[in-house]
A and B are shown apart, each in its own frame.
Chain A
Amino acid sequence: MSTVAAPPRPGTDTDGDAQHRLTEALRRVPAAAWPLVVFALLFLIGGIVRPNLLTLEALWSTAAFAMIVAIASSGQTLAVIQGGIDLSVPNTVTLSALTFLSAVDGLGAFGAFVAAIAAGAVVGLVNGTIIAKLSLSPIVTTIAMNGFLFGVVLLTFDFSQLTDIPRFASDITSAKIAFLGTEVAAVVPVGLGLLLALQALLSWTGWGRALFLVGAAPDVARLAGQPVDRIRITAYMLSGALAAFAGIVIVGFYAQTSTGMGAPYLLGSVAAVVVGGASIFGGRGSMIGTLGGALVLGQVATLVAVANLGVNIQQLIYGVIILFVVALYGRRARA
């Protein structure tokens, strides 16, 4: 069915060559940059419609919202890159937030922070072990884990007593930091630092490069002598720990808890990862892309809110954006 088109030889056809050079140049743009470009465009469009949207304050308020989504999606990004998915993010978020709040009295803020992250890592360890060692489908395993954690959360925590949000949690999230004459929520620099560190881990460490290989071609990775199971398990552990961090960030920023506090991040985290240009089948994705995806979704929410169109239209546009991105990137290779 498919015909192989020979690439035009340089210098033979000037017209086609120019076009070729343009597509080549566009192809050289890292995939992770596109969501950021789209975000910049949306930001400018917002500014044209409403000049007061073209200010640093407006940028920071969208960025704070988007950064929380990006942090909650960072673990999902790792899970997706290595060829899986983590649907236990919602209740890992809830578990961690509540573990943090209830441990603060006994362990102090830092101890509670460590305990909550450790809880998330244990969740990921169990997920990863079942998926890698028992070859259960990641979707099934993490759905079961999500249900399990929901039960644990309901049975363990007394919601009425968990209303005090420790200073530590709000210091790293909602506290305002002066920057260029404006005030930015602390979660923006904190999240940016975290995502850049994770991107460095993905791009420049052996573990990070192996993660892509495991996602794209697990058999090849195995033949190449990579410890595929161990890489998978550590990826899920990190995913759990990052979801746990997101839980602390969310409870710090929004200063409230509920059994359903993680629910928006079930589809939300996958949406940010997909809009960020990752392949849902694994092997492609980046933290910067996910941040871009979250920013695009966040800016859409801002624009819809400013235009007073309501949450329904926002959700509708989210759906259309995901379809559009998937149509651009997600074509199955084989017909």
Chain B
Amino acid sequence: MSAPAIPLGARLRRSPGLVGLKREGAVAPVLAFVLFFVIYVAINPELLTRFQLQTAANLVAPLALVALAQLLIVLVGGIDISVAAVMSLTNVVFATQLESASPLVAGVLAVAVGMGCGLFNGLLSAYGRLPVIAVTLASSFIFGALATEVLDRPGGAVSEGVTLATSGELAPYVPVALVWVLVAAALLWLLLQKTSLGRHIYGAGSNAEGMRAAGLNDRAAQLTAFVLAGGLVALGAILLAGSTATGDPKSGDPYLLNAIAAVALAGASFTGGRGSVVGTICAAAILGLVGNVLFFAGVDSYWQYVVGSVIIVAVVGIPVVVRRLSARVKGASA
């Protein structure tokens, strides 16, 4: 593609991957992740041992999947308050179904329930034309009530086999949870980038009017995003049930704000149409592991909340400040 005369730096800057990341606002979170990873390994080289890789993967995986689900909703221009409740619900459905059904059946059921929740939200938002945030606020009460109805206290029957299949090791140094996340992320990336449905999902968030004018169905795209998001949340809930070896009707609660925070950290636009799968995974890894890094650095782990929020505001805010300043400098020189 590039002529040999073009210097390496310029060629890199024009490479499709980097252009894509830039357009989707994911450069800052990817850089932040690289920096974060270097600091982590410098403080604690033990991360690269089998056991710690596995623990870290189990910590990050559910958040990454829920964050990907939230990303889908943010892409179509909404924000999903109900992810926490859907996560709790699918988590307890999976854990209780294991009492009688095989892990596969229980897993499929949980994903189906998750997609059903997505369908409910999606129908009301896309076809009922109600604001997404209000619909999902309402449904989070409903799904949360259903979760406690299914299982009112931590329990269920998560067997050792399930735990191994969701949070063990596929091969030495390859945590299963990481594989699940990467497979889901890769499929989602292919869907979003390489299929027309994926482009419609971006389009529904950035320019629904334009889509309709072009004769495309923005509502169907929005509905699909909701259903897929429900499935992703369920997958996250299954991994969480596996790694904690229990079902818990409150297990989703911490993920509500964290998933939104991860999507924000990923540089996604909350007005829709902009956001990246790669950036979201990087962001979830950062937020999921802040506590670990501080622990190994000998800092009170309560600092993780402070540091996490400062990272979010810094990574999201610094590009804004830089853009403003550079605009001002250019304006002054012009």
Contact = CB atoms under 8 A, between A and B. Distances in A.
Nearest to A281: B131
A327 B125 CA distance: 10
Contacts of A137: 264, 270
Contacts of B144: 315
A326 B141 CA distance: 14
Chain B CB count within 10 A is highest, among A271, A313, A322, for A322
Interface string A306-335: 000001111110111111001100111001
B131 A313 contact: no
A263 to B, nearest CB: 8
Interface size class on chain B is: 35 or more
Contacts of B256: 266
Nearest to B144: A315
Contact of A319 (B129, B140, B260): B140
Interface in B232-285: 256-257, 260-261, 264, 270
Interface string B116-130: 000000001000111
A318 B138 CA distance: 7
Interface in A35-62: none
B210 interface: no
B281 to A, nearest CB: 18
Nearest to A142: B257
Contacts of A313: 145
A266 B137 CA distance: 11
B142 A315 contact: yes
Nearest to A323: B138
Contact of A139 (B79, B137, B140, B300): B79
Interface stretch (B43-51, B104-112, B310-318): B310-318
Interface stretch (B60-68, B153-161, B167-175, B301-309): B301-309
B103 to A, nearest CB: 27
A152 B257 CA distance: 17
A267 interface: yes
B31 interface: no
Interface stretch (A4-12, A128-136, A214-222, A234-242): A128-136
B138 A322 contact: yes
B137 A270 contact: yes
Contact of B130 (A143, A151, A319, A326): A326
Nearest to B143: A319
Interface string A106-137: 00000000000000000000000010001111
B306 A140 contact: no
B261 A144 contact: yes
A135 B305 contact: no
B312 A144 contact: yes
A270 B145 CA distance: 18
A134 B317 contact: yes
B321 A140 contact: no
A320 B145 CA distance: 11
A313 to B, nearest CB: 7
Contact of B257 (A147, A155, A270): A147
A147 B308 contact: yes
B311 to A, nearest CB: 9
A146 B256 CA distance: 12
B292 to A, nearest CB: 15
A150 B141 CA distance: 23
Interface string A73-108: 000000000000001000000000000000000000
Interface in A187-212: none
A68 interface: no
B133 interface: yes
A318 B143 CA distance: 11
Contacts of A301: none
B79 A130 contact: no
Nearest to B321: A134
A327 B139 CA distance: 13
A136 B316 contact: yes
A155 B313 contact: no
B305 A150 contact: yes
29 contacts: A87-B257, A136-B316, A136-B317, A140-B270, A140-B312, A141-B313, A144-B264, A144-B312, A145-B309, A147-B257, A147-B308, A147-B309, A148-B305, A148-B309, A151-B307, A154-B305, A267-B81, A270-B137, A280-B131, A281-B131, A312-B146, A315-B142, A315-B144, A316-B142, A316-B146, A318-B141, A319-B141, A320-B142, A335-B129
Given A139-B79, A274-B137, A323-B130, 8 more contacts: A147-B306, A270-B137, A311-B145, A312-B145, A316-B145, A323-B124, A323-B135, A330-B131
Interface of A: 87, 130, 134-137, 139-141, 143-148, 150-152, 154-155, 266-267, 270-271, 274, 280-281, 311-316, 318-323, 326-327, 330-332, 335
Interface of B: 79, 81, 124, 128-131, 133-135, 137-142, 144-146, 148-149, 256-257, 260-261, 264, 270, 300, 302-310, 312-313, 316-317, 320-321
